[in-house]
Amino acid sequence: MGLELLARVRRTSLWVGGMAALLTATYAGLAHGAAVALGAAWSLVNLVLLEHLIVALTGRDRRTMPATIRSIASIGGLMALFVAGWLLLERFPAALLMTGFGIPYAVLVLKAISLLVLPTGAWQRFTRTPWPAVAVLVALLAGAWAVTSMGSAAPGPGRRVRAAAAQETGTTSGTTATPTEQPAGAGAAAEHEAEAGAHAEGGEDAGPEKFANVITVLSRAFPDASWAHFLHHYEVVIFSLFIALALCVVAMIATRNPKMIPERLQNVVEMVVEGLSNFIVDILGPRHGPRYVPFLGTLFVYILAMNLFGLIPFMDSPTSSLNVTVALALIVFLYSQYIGFRELGVVGWIDHMAGSPRTAIGWALVPLMLPIHLMGELAKPISLACRLFGNIFGEDMLLVAFASLGITVLSFTHLPIGLPLQLPFLFLALLTSTLQALVFTVLSTIYFLLMLPHDDHGHEGEAQHAH
């Protein structure tokens, strides 16, 4: 059922991504439509490679050579895909790429919601007559007509600003002094100031900006205060430490006075701990699982809290910063290597990196397997960091885009309000934030599993010891 659902998600995402790219190319230009299409294609390829990797690592034939080859091919494909994503970000707008990237995940969430909603009695009562569907369709058509009519009524402010800037540049180019008449530093400074002014006036060229958080508001309210600059510079670290402290406080309150019949908070904490423990032990096994439950469980709870923290008004998700996700990924990478050295030893770790050769063919493949394994180990933190950062940052940009669209729809009223078009995507963000924390934890658990001794080796050792 799971793989069939993913196949249907891919087919639907191809249609939705194609339509979104076509509409974007029609109303915004061919380059923008190509950016949406490439973002959706990148996301679909990423999902396919992750599916093949997880199936190869967790399937029944995971210890066979074909499964190993599929795992290596999937890891190599993910590395190549990461390079392709970097090249795409260099050539296309990040906001459009993120829009295309989020299409398969939006389709996945909507299909999951449909599986939950369609069997309910409320949905059956809602669809008993066709009039509710007709009302929804009329509302959507009216909203689309209003948006397109306002968008085509007059050229956007960005075009007017760029035209004015181009005209001003053309009129002043004839009177600009030659490079020999200006000091080198003055010319560079003037060019930098002109570019900064253009960014400040254009608005569109300033890059995407997230919702203002409480630290941003303080830094803008007190622009000359040194403490405001300090808070703004370290706002990601401050939010991360605050979330960690809040989790510690909740854990202390829940475990301060444990009872046989737990109260609400203790019951919730015990349910989370028990669920994470069972989940991790099922992957790592009862022999090694309990040892790593505290680290991996804390990792999931901490990442989930940081993902959801940005949905609170005037707060920010620390995981939307690459600094935080890289730090988390490096911790997992270093811990997994430590597990490999401790459980396998130096010789065993090298043997693991070489592909555990036991036959002549295995030894002949060592020059190929060793670099591939080393590159795969180095790609793990990059994959973890970029995946978490890209999804949470794209989620924030999606909310900003629809909030801005809601303000634009009501711009003719000249009121400081807008339609809450971002409200449905807040519920989507709840699901995607949980999924990203789960994906980060599952992949970290799998990385630990790959570094632990295999079960068959352990059983052989125990049998020899018994004899």
Per-residue pLDDT of the chain (467 residues; tens, 9 = 90+): 456 767 777 778 887 887 787 777 766 777 887 888 888 888 888 878 777 777 777 777 666 777 778 778 878 887 888 788 778 888 888 888 888 888 887 887 887 787 777 778 776 777 777 777 777 767 766 665 565 555 444 444 444 444 454 455 454 444 444 444 444 444 444 444 444 444 444 444 444 577 888 888 888 888 888 888 888 889 999 999 999 999 999 999 888 888 888 788 888 999 999 999 999 999 998 988 899 999 999 999 999 999 999 888 888 999 999 999 999 999 999 999 999 888 888 888 888 788 777 788 878 887 888 888 888 888 889 999 999 999 999 888 888 888 888 888 777 767 667 778 888 888 888 999 999 999 999 999 999 998 888 654 444 444 343 34
The answer to the question of residue 319 being in a domain is: yes
Q: Within this chain, do residues 99 and 239 fall inside the same structural domain, yes or no?
A: no
54 part of a folded domain? yes
With respect to residue 144, please indicate whether it lies within any of the assigned structural domains. no
Question: Which of 92, 118, 144 finishes a domain?
Answer: 118
**Domain-embedded: residue 424:** yes
Residues 274 and 412 in one domain: yes
Q: Are residues 109 and 241 in the same domain?
A: no
Q: Is residue 43 part of a domain?
A: yes
Considering only CA atoms, which of 308, 264, 318 is closest in space to residue 438?
A: 308
Last residue of a domain, one of 73, 94, 118: 118
Asked if 19 and 33 count as a contact pair (C-beta separation under 8 A), the reply is: no
* Number of domains observed in the structure of the chain: 2
**Where is the domain boundary, 66, 86, 118?**
118
| Residue 244 within any structural domain of the chain | yes
Same domain for 108 and 252, yes or no, is no
Residues spanned by the domain of 272 = 235-466
Task: Confirm whether 169 is domain-assigned.
Answer: no
Residue 297 shares a structural domain with residue 441: yes
The answer to whether residue 171 sits within a structural domain is no
Same domain assignment for residues 264 and 400: yes
